[in-house]
Each structure stands twice: as structure tokens, then as C-alpha cells.
Amino acid sequence: MTSLRRLLFAVIAASLLAVAAAGVSGAESVPSVRDPSEFPASDEAEDSPAAFDGTIVNRSFGRGGGAAQGPASQSGRKAKSNPELNTSFEGINLFQHRYSNNQNQLTIEPPDQGLCAGNGYVLEAVNIALNVYDTSGNSVLPPDTNTPPVPHVNGTVALNQFLNYPPAVNRAAGNVRGPVVTDPSCYFDQQTQRWFLVVLTLDAFANGQTKGTNHFDIAVSNGPNPVPLSNWTILPPVPVQNDGTDGTPNHHCHPADNPRAGNPPTNPTACIADYPHIGADANGFYITANEYDFYGNEFQSSNIYAFSKRGLEAGDTRHVLLETKNTVHGQPGFTVWPANSPSSQYQTGGGGTEYFLSSNAADEATCPTGCNGPRTSDELVVWSLTNTSSLDSASPNLQLQNKVLKVGQYGVPARSSQKAGSTPLADCLNDRSLPTPFGPGCWQILLVPPAPPHQVPGTLDSNDSRMQQVWYANGKLWGALDTALTLDRNRSGIEWFIVNPAGPDVQSASLRRSGYLGLSGNNVTYPAIATTESGRGVMAFTLVGDDNYPSAAYASIDDKAGVGDIHVAAAGAGPDDGFTLYPPLANPARGRWGDYGAAVLDGKSIWIASEYIAQTCTYDQYIGQAAADGTYGRLATGFGLCNNTRGSSGNWSTRISKVTP
């Protein structure tokens, strides 16, 4: 059974014909939902890959290991500075996302945070909404565009709305689906004073089934500020199905093994550009994506889409596409993450150079046809794309090269345990006595018979050892990934890297420093690093485990002392209680978390963003007024909303913090 997995979000099914957004069948096998526009089947049939079950011991000098500390605590080692938490506020949460755009949003996990900051603004984009804040955490967007207004939406705008698409689901028109927008990232370019936002968009039929065609949507601000949102240019879509249609090359992706029910794809041999991320140098703007069969079972390679930065600002989306097939020990590159950097420190040698990092423990990097690989590695791949100044010419001439470095062993981590607490969605699925119009049992509000088996809150996805955010500053490359780490037992930890690229072609690149971060009894996941121009940095991540509800945390990082102790920017208020934890609502059940955080430089401070849980409530609070009056209109009665702090089938939130390292 294939372990390759596309990291598209999990989404509530629009109808019983809905299939995986990644195109694989499976949604038809889950229990039928009571309200198809609200309650879920997973959008993808891939489960988490089995974790590496060997031993990975932290032997680094830069290790973390003490108890998690509050923001005022001192680091246990002498670093260049102890990071100071200046500002911290709750970003977009599931309720705000779900009830924006006249309530025509889907319930989605995970959020996938994009973050960018500059000129006194902070922009956050998640699956599938955005907001813009001032530096104190106040939304600067109109407070509510819903008709009638919905309390606590806090200015949140749906990405479909921002991109001028139909709603994700139009409930007033019989649950007609719009395009599937996913994997947002954003970037503020200090050099050009423009804001960029990128998403992957999947074209869909009215019933939610995907067509096969997919494209990048790129939005560029018309000025130095991100508001008003009307002052952005939405560029023409960039097709990325790579099946020979719409001007794309033909990468010969495979069709599904078996036809699906409902609408057949218009492009059955389409590829999909999953997990796009963005970087920039002085000349170019880069989107990298993991290319899979949209409907088949194989991984192709990580692709690099190179645009002229100035061209994008002028509305020109012409680009150079570079594949990474057969480039790492005869295997493809996987999650080749492009670097961002302070604008004063771009690498201008080699005709302009953009750097990337990638790892190779995941099955995609060792067995792209879908078999199981070793799921562990001791290699880090350093990449460079040179002569990027040619992107401004009529005939760009780019050179891509890489070097493999030896690093400490890492491996695919197991899922993360979480501290026990109130999980009212699980309680609802287990309840057999609450009176409802459909019969006794809260579960009947969510599902049609038969009753689901007893549900127990599960564990959270800890990623698969793919590279996370990459940063270039002070002449060095900084990056980190999730790994199995042996503490009290095998947990999810972080391995971090500081690399000296040693020039544009990276052939003399060397590992300057690396190490692990972990905490006994707990897990740290989804790291994101940014540093100042002098190399003083912050690494953001989620902290969760036996002692901690999912929390937004961070640690200092520099090239002399390594990584400091764990600091908590915002402690989790309760456990994750989302639909992807529970088999009746997701197939397979896989507690979706992440899929990435973010960190960006703003002056001498760093803004960080991580997923966490900001609320908790009891089962009685969850069922709300419905128990008293027998009505179940969710917004009207508050069913599942816990005073508008969560959605009825999920409770994720995001945390945005400003730290001075």
C-alpha cells in the first residue's frame, strides 16, 4: 500500500459523491453525514507513513532538553541574546474561517499558515482565509462582511472571495462547490515594497469532485501596504497540471487505477503541484511544489517555478520550470524549499543565486513509485539556482545544482500524543441519549445511522521529515525538519541545520552546525526559522504532549550557541478535537496538524506563527441551546460553537507573536 501522501487539507464533504481533493477514491466508504455541506469525509485516502522505529539520540551540543519555559525565563545556555516576546495574539481560528464569506466556507484541517509582515502590517493566510493586522494584533479589515453580521469573525476574508472565485460552498444554491483553494503562502518584499500571496487552486465540478486541472494563483499588491484588499492585482492563473494542456509540458502522470463514481475527471492524467512554497532573491520569485499523479499513485519530483520578480509586479507570469528528477542519488528531489532572506543579503554572485534545502528520508525521495523506503537518513541536500538575473531577459538561462551533506540521523516521526482534556466532538459522537429530531443521541446530529463505534481522541500528525522553512542570512542557510527523537521513548523532535553554502554553486558547501530539539514526555513539530541580518534567530514550532495541550512555542537559534531552551508564546487551552481525529468523520482518521508554520523578519524583530488550541469547553457548552429547545440550526442555537470559539467539527487556532532575538 502506498505511503506517498499529498498534504492537501482535509475538508468536509459536499456530497456523498465527493472524492478526495487529491483525486483518490475513498470518500464513499465513510459513514453518511447528516449535513453534507458541513460534516466530513477526508479529502485524501493516504494515511500517515509508518514512523521510523529505530533510535535517534540527541548527541548535539545545541540540544534543548529542559522543561518548557514561559517567555520571561532565561535560557540555560549563553546565546547572543535571550529572545524577548514583544507581542502575541490569536490569529485566525476555525470559527472565523468557517463563518466568513456569508458562512459559505468549509470546515478544514489543518490551517497551513502563511505569514508576511512589513510597514506596520502583519498578513496571515490559512486554509482558506486571510486577515491583516496592525502590530498590536488588531484586524485592519472591515469587521464583518457577512449579511447578517456574525459575531467574532473579526474581519476574516475567505480566500475564494479575495481571489474573485465563487464561494467554497454556496449553501443558498444547494451546496454548489467552487474551486478548491489550498496551501497559502505570502511574502513581503522589502526591496520592491510589494506583497505577494500564492495558493494552489484545484478546479472542481459543482458537486466538489476535482477536474484534474490545477494552477497557482498569484496576487501582488499595487503598493507598499496590503490594505485595502481591493488594491491587489490577481494575476492570470499559472497552470500546473503538466499533462500537455493549457501550455503545460507533459510529465506523463498516471490516471487512477479505477474509475470513480460521479463526474470523471476532464484531465485524468493530470499531475498536481502539492505543497507549494515561496522564496525570493534579488531577481526572482520562486515557487516549489511536490508533483504527484493527481489520480494515480506515484510521485514525480519537486519542481521549481522561477519567475522574474519585476515581471510579476508588471503582471507577467512567464516562468522557467525546472524538474529535480534523478538529481539526488538517481532519485528525485522532495520538498525542495526555497530560501527567503533580508533584502540586503541576497547572494548576488553567480549572476544572482537562490538557495534551497531538502531532505531525503521520506518515501517520495527514496521510492517515488510508492513502495516503502527506510524512512531515515543522515543526508541534507543543499541546492542553488544561479544566473537568476537572466530571469529579466527574453531567454533566461538558469543552472540548478546541488550537494549532499552528511548530518545527524533523522527519521519519519510518530504521531504526537496530546494531554487529555475535554473533547466534546468525541463526546457527541459517543452520546446515545440526547433527544434530537432524528432520534436519541448527539451523534445523530452529525451522522445518519448506523451509530458509530466508541470514539477516543487520537494523536496529531507530526509531518514526515520533509524540509520546513529555509532562511538565508549572514552568509548562511538555516533550516529544520521534524524527526523521530528518542527521549523517554520515541517522540517527535526537530533537527536543525546551519549551512555555509560557500559560494553560488554550493559544491564547497559545508555543515556549520546542527542539532536536535526535544522535550521528554512531549513533542515539538512544524519548525520555522528566521534570523536577523546578523544571524540572531528564532525557531517557531508547536509544543504538545503528555504535559502540554497543543501550544505555540519558540526557541532562540544562532550559529554559536545553537538552539536555546523552549519558550511558550501561548499555552494550549485544551486538546485538539477536530474531525480528522475520528474515523466516522475522516477516512482514514489522521489528526491533521500543521502542515507548516512561518517566521519572517521585520526590522530587528521576527514574527512567528504556529498552530495551537486557544479554547476549551464542556460537552454541555458544546451542545448549547439545542438541548433546551430541540433545534439544531448551528449558528442560531450555538450548537458546537462554544460561544463562537470553535467550529462544531474542529477547534484549531493560530498564534502570531513578535519576538526580538
For the chain, the average pLDDT equals 89
Give the per-residue pLDDT at 57: 57
| Contact of 127 with 610, CB cutoff 8 Å | no
Asked whether residue 241 carries a pLDDT value surpassing 70, the answer given is: yes
Asked whether residue 45 carries a pLDDT value surpassing 70, the answer given is: no
Mean pLDDT along residues 640-657: 95
Round to whole Å and give the CA distance between 196 and 187: 5
Asked whether residue 322 carries a pLDDT value surpassing 50, the answer given is: yes
462-491 tens-digit pLDDT: 999 999 999 999 999 999 999 999 999 999
* Side chain identity, residue 476: K
Round to whole Å and give the CA distance between 320 and 306: 5
Give the per-residue pLDDT at 635: 56
Round to whole Å and give the CA distance between 474 and 500: 10
Number of alpha carbons in the 13 Å side-chain half-sphere of residue 105: 30
DSSP secondary structure letter of residue 415: P
Confidence band for 588, pLDDT divided at 50, 70 and 90: confident
**Dihedral sign for Cα atoms in the order 241, 243, 244, 245:** negative
What DSSP letter does each residue of 254-290 carry, written as one string? Answer: ---SSPPSSSPPSSTT-EEEEEEEEEE-SSEEEEEEE
65-118 tens-digit pLDDT: 333 433 322 233 333 457 999 999 999 999 999 999 999 999 999 999 999 999
Asked whether residue 202 carries a pLDDT value surpassing 60, the answer given is: yes
Round to whole Å and give the CA distance between 147 and 153: 12
Asked whether residue 294 carries a pLDDT value surpassing 60, the answer given is: yes
Q: Which residue has the higher pLDDT, 121 or 81?
A: 121
Give the per-residue pLDDT at 290: 98
| Contact of 108 with 97, CB cutoff 8 Å | yes
| Other beta carbons within 10 Å of 233 | 14
